[in-house]
Amino acid sequence: MTVHSPPCPLPLADTALPTEQREVEELLADAHAARRPVYPIGGGLALEFGLPPRAPGLGVRLTGLARVLDYPARDLTITVESGITLAALQQTLAAEGQWLPLEAHQPQAATLGGVLAVNFSGPRRFGYGTARDYVIGITAVDGRGKPFRGGGRVVKNVAGYDFCKLLVGSLGTLGIITQVTLKLRPRPEERALLLCEPADWDQAEKLLEGLVRSAVVPVSIDLLCGSAWTGAEELAPSNAQALLLGVGLEGSRQEVSWLVEELTSAWQAAGVPRFRTLDPAASLRAWELLTGFGCGRQAALVLKLNVRPSRLVSLMAMLRELAPDCSMAARAGSGILLVQFEEFQPSDISKLLIGRIRPAAIAAGGACVVWAAGPGLEATHQAVFGPDPGDRAMMRAVKSQFDPAGILNPGRYIYGVA
């Protein structure tokens, strides 16, 4: 087992690189006995999410667990180790004409386990769902070094407690995922991304309402605004103040051709001033840009809001008036809004985030969390995750069953375990 200390925003005393699940079990058993904090690391691309940890501990980098364990392609399932990158996994599946409909920022570095732990999703979640929809079996090691499993290796497997859904999105606080069984889909034959610039917020709202009534079934619906998009090549609007609506389509060649014609006709009838269609290669590049929005460590603050889709446009208009310099990317069909601030002062946390933005998200039927914060912002637990939703005591009880000593990602997540 190799031990090293790579550059990392976590307070690591050292880092282990296990290559077998047995080594993960031994590391966690030793850490549990010593009450030593442990920080699971995949591709290291989402380490700013949650509260910044303060207790020095051991980093466990999972990239050494990257094997394909079982791939019965005819069953549309695959079992892999959690350290495999999303790009490597998709390359394996492409040889059989299949794919996993999950997206990640920098897929060449993002590991499957990291994507699951953060429950990351890209623009095409509207058409394909989230990670929880594709995990049918999972193996992990808890905070005592004990392995456990949930689900199985076939799609029709619902026996026992659904550990799969419990671990997805748990930020590595309940266990370290080591193996995953996934259900797959055939690769789409054709794809296209249609882009238009609504004249104003009212027209954007009407175009989104039209999609609800239309026969067009998109895989992605994104509404963008702000200066962050002006240099985004395929997604660049005509000017920094313009709105940009993107609608993604996938399927057979005949399906996509009909969908493009149908949507183009609808936009012409609605008086959309300008629109264009991206070819398959450009569509993939655009989806990569959409997936990467708000990721990385450049912005001062990135917020993630989940609200009712019907309230999304009015909320964006309010935020544009409140903070004209912010940039936004809305997964309009799913009610998810990412808001990126290039500048955000510590005093704005109470004045804007807690005082204006989060109440507006709650009024729109949702919530607001801090997705990533720059080093100058020392956010509190309430600022990052918001007020107690009422089930935090139950979440702490679940945490104590999997990690009684509180060594897994201590203090980073909503449980508040230090």
* CATH at 30: 3.30.43.10
Q: Mind listing the pLDDT tens digit for each residue in 297-323? A: 678 899 999 999 999 999 999 999 999
Q: Is residue 410 part of a domain?
A: no
pTM (two decimals): 0.92
Does one domain contain both 71 and 175? yes
Q: Residue 286 is part of a domain; what is its CATH number? A: 3.30.70.3450
- With bands split at pLDDT 50, 70 and 90, how would you rate the model's confidence at 264? very high
Considering only residues 152 and 314, tell me which one the structure prediction assigns the higher pLDDT. Answer: 314
Quick one: pLDDT at residue 60?
97
**Lowest-confidence segment of 108-112, 175-179, 230-234 by average pLDDT:** 230-234
Does one domain contain both 169 and 71? yes
Q: Mind listing the pLDDT tens digit for each residue in 320-337? A: 999 999 999 999 999 999
Q: Is residue 407 part of a domain?
A: no
Domain that holds residue 57: 2-62
Does one domain contain both 81 and 175? yes
Does one domain contain both 87 and 178? yes
Q: How far is CA 223 from the centre of its chain?
A: 17
Does one domain contain both 264 and 370? no
Does one domain contain both 101 and 33? no
Task: Report whether pLDDT(7) > 60.
Answer: no
Q: Is residue 395 part of a domain?
A: no
Does one domain contain both 72 and 182? yes
Domain count, the chain: 4
Q: Is residue 398 part of a domain?
A: no
Q: Mind listing the pLDDT tens digit for each residue in 342-373? A: 888 888 888 899 999 999 999 999 999 998 88
Does one domain contain both 166 and 202? no
